Homo-oligomer: A and B are copies of this chain.
Amino acid sequence: MKAFHEYKNPSLAVDLVVFGYHDNTLSVLLLNRKEEPFKDQWTLPGGFLQMEETLRDTCARILLTKLGMKEVFMEQLYTFDDPARDPRGRVIAVGYYALINPSKFGIVAGTMANDVKWFDVKQLPVLGFDHQQIFEAALQRLRSKILYYPVGFELLDELFTITELHELYECILQMKLDRRNFRRKILDAGYIVNTGTKREGLKNRHPELYKFNKHLKKNSFHISTPEQE
Contacts and interface: CB of A to CB of B under 8 A. Distances in A.
A196 interface: no
Chain A residues touching B, range: 20 to 34
Query: What does DSSP make chain A's interface, helix, strand, loop or mixed?
Result: loop
Interface in A29-83: 48-56, 76, 78-79, 81-83
- For A4, A51, A79, the residue with the greatest tally of chain B CB atoms inside 10 Å of its CB is A79
A12 interface: yes
A180 interface: no
Nearest to A219: B229
Contacts of A92: 12, 49, 55
Contacts of A229: 219-220
A217 interface: no
Interface string A3-37: 01101111110000000000000000000000000
Contacts of A10: 9, 12, 49, 51
B81 A7 contact: no
A88 B94 CA distance: 22
A49 B220 CA distance: 37
Interface of A: 4-5, 7-12, 48-56, 76, 78-79, 81-83, 88-90, 92, 94, 219-220, 228-229
3 tightest Cβ-Cβ pairs between the two chains A and B: A9-B9, A55-B81, A7-B48
